[in-house]
């Protein structure tokens, strides 16, 4: 039941959360660690619970092959609209109920 409540929360408050916490705040300052970690693997990187796509967008700019997953369609809409994350890089998925859409051992 809690996962439904979480989804409803972000679907109903995503815009307020985005505006209050980030607005058009550039992602650069707080993603140095994520960038270093994401550059280590070879192949695709995934960000689970990518939310508004702020970090995902910055990692894409660094040339990292990354895809984001989130349960809230509202947050994914923000990722597309505010951070210009390409829609093909975003997936609306309940990770507790569905497997990732990649063959085993490929991510």
pLDDT at position 1 is: 46
pLDDT at position 39 is: 66
pTM higher than 0.85, yes or no?
A: no
pLDDT at position 74 is: 92
Q: What's the angle, vertex CA 84, arms to CA 82 and CA 89, rounded to 5? A: 125
pLDDT at position 96 is: 82
Q: Are 79 and 17 in contact (CB under 8 A)?
A: no
Q: Return averaged pLDDT per consecutive 10 residues of the chain, 107 residues in all.
A: 58 60 52 62 83 90 90 93 95 86 70
pLDDT at position 80 is: 96
pLDDT at position 90 is: 97
């Amino acid at each position: 039941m809690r996962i439904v409540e979480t989804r409803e929360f972000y679907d109903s408050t995503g815009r307020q959360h985005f505006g209050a916490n980030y607005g058009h705040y550039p992602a650069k300052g707080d993603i140095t660690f994520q960038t270093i970690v994401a550059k280590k693997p070879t192949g695709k990187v995934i960000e689970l619970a990518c939310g508004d796509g702020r970090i995902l967008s910055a990692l894409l700019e660094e040339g990292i092959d990354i895809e984001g997953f989130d349960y809230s369609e509202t947050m994914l809409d923000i990722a597309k609209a505010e951070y210009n994350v390409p829609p093909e890089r975003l997936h609306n998925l309940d990770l507790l109920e569905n497997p990732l859409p990649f063959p085993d051992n490929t991510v």
